[in-house]
Amino acid sequence: MPTLAQLRVLVAVVDTGSFTQAASTLGISQSAVSHALAALEREGPGALVERTGGAAPTALAHRLLPHARASLASADAFSAEWAAFAGRADGTVRLAAVPTVCQGLLPGLLRTWATRLPHVRVQVFEGDDDELPRWLEVGTVDAAVLVDPKPVPEGGRVVARDEFRAILRRDHPFAGEQTIDLAELGEDGLLVSTGGCEQQVRRLHADADLPFRPAQHVRELATLMRMVAEGIGVSIMPSLGGAMLPTELVMVPLSPTRPRELVLSGPQQRPWHPLVRTLVEATDALPD
């Protein structure tokens, strides 16, 4: 049977794409990483990592990785539960969130947790709306700030609410308005990002009985904002994303708009890491 140390090496190599980076992440030598992975491969039916052009997972590794992540998540939860029973709240929690939450909400939460839980380390993973629930259930992360989960998972806590706003150049004719009608906004060419709450923007149009016809799709929010700054179009983002805006862009409230709830939660299909409950208990719901 593989050891937990071997599984940690496999996951670290795949996640970092490098034996050197995996060694740095795990705090061991590169030689130790290579030997651990080689020993694991000798016990199995084939190679787990391609060793040419980086460290990409093989087809076999893709099949095994969800089980490796789940095993490590359970082992880490066991250790944390053991420590909690002994009256110690220490360890690492892997937390996922979408980019706007990472920029606009997590800095404040991290400061709160650092003050209230000095021995708990929070490792942040940035992902898209669709990725977060999957990461939670397979054990890639222990917790996530979910966007509009319906219903709110048992044990989860609403940590913030915000609303969607238009993103415009400062010299746009609508930049000084109190609100912008969603129908008028689309006339300038709507830019959307798969990393920028596209699902919610699509629902915003559906609620207003408007067609959803983006002029451009991009993945990265940084690319989207650069395109808006260059006058290629306009966009829509949650108000928390205001922390990401360059100086040449502004946010203007939409009419109608759509609020979203941000919920700190653990997984629904497997036991929670005990430190996730500790984070939730140490988190005050933030004002709208």
Q: From CA 46, how far away is CA 38, in angstroms rounded? A: 10
Based on the structure, what is the number of domains in the chain?
A: 2
Last residue of some domain: 44, 62, 88? 88
The verdict on residue 9 lying in a domain is yes
pLDDT at 275: 87
- Answer whether residue 19 is part of any domain: yes
Structural domain range at position 73: 1-88
Residue 83 inside a domain? The answer is yes
Residue 264 counted as domain residue: no
Give percent above pLDDT 70 in the chain.
Answer: 95
Whether residue 225 contacts residue 167, with contact meaning beta carbons closer than 8 Å, is answered with yes
pLDDT at 196 over 60: no
Of 38, 53, 52, whose CA–CA distance to 6 is shortest?
Answer: 38
Which pTM was predicted? 0.73
Provide the pLDDT confidence category of residue 250 given band limits of 50, 70 and 90: very high
Give the whole-angstrom CA distance, residue 269 versus residue 96. Answer: 17
24 belongs to a structural domain? yes
Q: Residues 78-93: pLDDT tens digits? A: 777 777 676 666 788 8
CB neighbours of 134 closer than 8 A, spacing ≥ 6? 140
Residue 143 falls inside a structural domain: no
CATH classification at residue 188: 3.40.190.10
Number of helices (H), then strands (E), belonging to the chain: the values are 11, 12
Give the domain CATH number at 81: 1.10.10.10
What confidence tens digit (pLDDT) does each residue in 16-58 have?
898 999 998 888 888 989 988 998 888 888 899 988 877 889 9
Q: Is residue 33 part of a domain?
A: yes
67, 88, 109: which is the final residue of a domain? 88
226 belongs to a structural domain: yes
CA distance 264 to 251: 26
Average pLDDT over the chain, rounded to an integer: 87
CA 58 – CA 37 distance, rounded (Å): 13
